[in-house]
C-alpha cells in the first residue's frame, strides 16, 4: 500500500555535535509493523527544537532531524495497520508513540509512558519531506484547518489546550497567561474562548495591542509593574499559565493567585524555582507542571479551535531555509509560530 515516489526526499538535519542545520537528501523509511509513513506538508518550529538541534549526544545518534509539530498526508501503511487509509491528513506531535503495556498506557495516560517516544529524539523528526511514525502517534486533521495551521497543534496547541481545560478553572474565573509567543498566543485565545476572564502578561507595551486582538481582557506590562501584585489588584487568578521560556518571573507571580489558585508551568528554562513555601501553604495554592497530550487530545484541540475561531498565527518558510527560520524563532521575531513548508 505505497504512495510513490519513495526517492527525492529531503530533511533539515544536524550531522555532528555543534554542527549547523543543513538540508540534505534522505531515503524515506519504509514503515514496519504498526507504523505509518507520512508525506510532510508542514512542520512547526518549537522552542524545544532548538535544544534538540544543539544536542551534542542525542540518543538516536547523528544525523539528527528535529521537528515534532507535523501535519502531513498518509503515504504508506505498514503491516497490521488498520483504521487509516493512504491520502488521509494526519498530524504528529511531541507524543510520538508509547509502549502500550505499562501502567501509564494501560490506565489511559500514554503521555507519561516511561518509554514514550518523541519525534526528533527517539527517531528522525518532521523537518523533512517524509516521516515514519508509530500509528498510535497519529491525530486526524479535520477539514477547515490548513496544514500550516494544523502543525502547531501537535505541541503548542494541545499543550495549552489541555493545561487550561484540566486546570480546575471554570468559565467566569480569572486566568492569566504569562508570555505571548508560540504557546502563549494560543493560550490567550483558548482561555478567552473557554469563557475565562483572560489576562495576558508580557514584557513591553508593544505587546498590548496583540494581546487584546488575541482575546485578552487585560494586559499587564511586566517590564513596568510587578505582575504578581497587578494580578492581585484585579482580584487574583484561579490559574496562571506560564508559557514563557524564562523561569525567573514565576516566584513573583505566586502573589497573583487567589486562594486555591494554581500556577501551571508549560514553558521554562530549567533553572530552579526559589519560592517561599508560606505563600503556597497559607493560601492553599499549588504549582504544577504540564506536558503535551495524546493524539485524541490533539484532535479535540483542533475541533475546539474550528468551533471557536482559535487559530495559530504562523509565519511560513521553505524547508531549505530551516536554519534561518530557527534563528527567527529563537530571537522571538516570529509572529507567532515559524512553520516549515517542505519545498526545496
Q: How confident is the model at residue 3 (pLDDT cuts 50, 70, 90)?
A: very low
Between vectors from CA 31 to CA 295 and to CA 42, what angle results, nearest 5°?
50
Question: Is residue 344 pLDDT above 60, yes or no?
Answer: no
Q: Give the Cα separation of 99 and 115 in Å (integer).
A: 6
- In the chain, the domains with their CATH numbers are 9-155+293-341 (3.90.180.10), 158-289 (3.40.50.720)
Under DSSP, is residue 319 helix (H, G, I), strand (E, B) or coil? Answer: helix
Query: What does the pLDDT read at residue 6?
Result: 55
The strand pair at 139-140 and 89-92 is best described as: antiparallel
Nearest to 177 by CA among 186, 291, 302: 186
Residue 11 makes CB contacts below 8 A (sequence gap 6+) with 23, 24, 26, 63, 65, 124, 127, 128, 129, 130
Instruction: Please write the tens of the pLDDT for every residue from 126-155.
Output: 999 999 999 999 999 999 999 999 999 999
Instruction: Please write the tens of the pLDDT for every residue from 144-196.
Output: 999 999 999 999 999 999 999 999 999 999 999 999 999 999 999 999 999 99
Q: What is the DSSP-derived secondary structure letter of residue 142?
A: P
The answer to whether the CB of 107 falls within 8 A of the CB of 304 is no
Query: What does the pLDDT read at residue 247?
Result: 84
Under DSSP, is residue 31 helix (H, G, I), strand (E, B) or coil? Answer: coil
C-alpha cell at 111: 503521555
Amino acid at each position: 500500500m505505497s504512495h510513490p515516489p519513495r526517492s527525492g526526499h529531503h530533511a533539515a538535519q544536524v550531522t555532528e555535535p555543534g554542527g549547523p542545520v543543513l538540508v540534505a537528501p534522505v531515503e524515506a523509511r519504509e514503515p514496519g509493523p504498526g507504523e505509518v509513513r507520512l508525506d510532510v506538508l508542514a512542520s512547526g518550529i518549537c522552542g524545544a527544537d532548538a535544544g534538540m538541534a544543539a544536542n551534542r549526544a542525542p540518543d538516536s545518534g547523528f544525523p539528527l532531524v528535529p521537528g515534532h509539530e507535523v501535519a502531513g498526508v498518509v503515504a504508506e501503511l505498514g503491516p497490521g495497520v488498520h483504521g487509516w487509509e493512504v491520502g488521509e491528513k494526519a498530524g504528529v506531535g511531541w507524543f510520538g508513540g508509547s509502549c502500550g503495556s505499562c501502567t501509564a498506557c494501560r490506565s489511559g495516560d500514554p503521555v507519561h509512558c516511561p518509554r514514550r517516544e518523541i519525534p526528533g529524539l527517539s527517531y528522525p523528526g518532521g523537518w523533512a519531506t517524509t516521516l515514519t511514525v508509530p500509528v498510535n502517534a497519529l491525530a486526524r486533521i479535520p477539514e477547515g484547518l490548513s496544514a500550516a495551521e494544523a502543525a502547531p497543534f501537535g505541541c503548542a496547541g494541545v499543550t495549552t489546550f489541555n493545561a487550561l481545560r484540566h486546570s480546575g478553572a471554570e468559565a467566569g474565573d480569572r486566568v492569566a497567561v504569562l508570555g505571548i509567543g508560540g504557546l502563549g498566543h494560543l493560550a490567550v485565545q483558548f482561555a478567552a474562548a473557554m469563557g475565562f476572564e483572560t489576562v495576558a502578561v508580557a514584557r513591553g507595551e508593544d505587546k498590548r495591542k496583540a494581546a487584546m486582538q488575541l482575546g485578552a481582557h487585560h494586559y499587564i506590562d511586566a517590564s513596568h509593574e510587578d505582575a504578581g501584585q497587578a494580578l492581585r489588584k484585579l482580584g487574583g487568578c484561579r490559574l496562571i499559565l506560564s508559557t514563557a521560556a524564562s523561569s525567573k518571573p514565576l516566584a513573583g507571580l505566586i502573589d497573583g493567585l487567589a486562594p486555591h489558585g494554581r500556577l501551571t508551568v508549560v514553558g521554562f528554562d530549567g533553572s530552579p524555582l526559589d519560592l517561599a513555601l508560606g505563600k503556597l501553604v497559607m493560601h492553599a495554592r499549588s504549582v504544577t507542571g504540564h506536558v503535551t497530550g495524546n493524539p485524541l487530545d490533539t484532535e479535540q484541540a483542533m475541533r475546539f479551535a474550528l468551533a471557536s475561531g482559535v487559530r495559530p498565527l504562523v509565519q511560513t518558510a521553505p524547508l531549505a531555509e530551516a536554519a534561518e527560520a530557527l534563528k527567527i524563532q529563537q530571537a522571538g521575531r516570529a509572529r507567532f509560530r515559524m512553520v516549515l513548508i517542505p519545498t526545496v
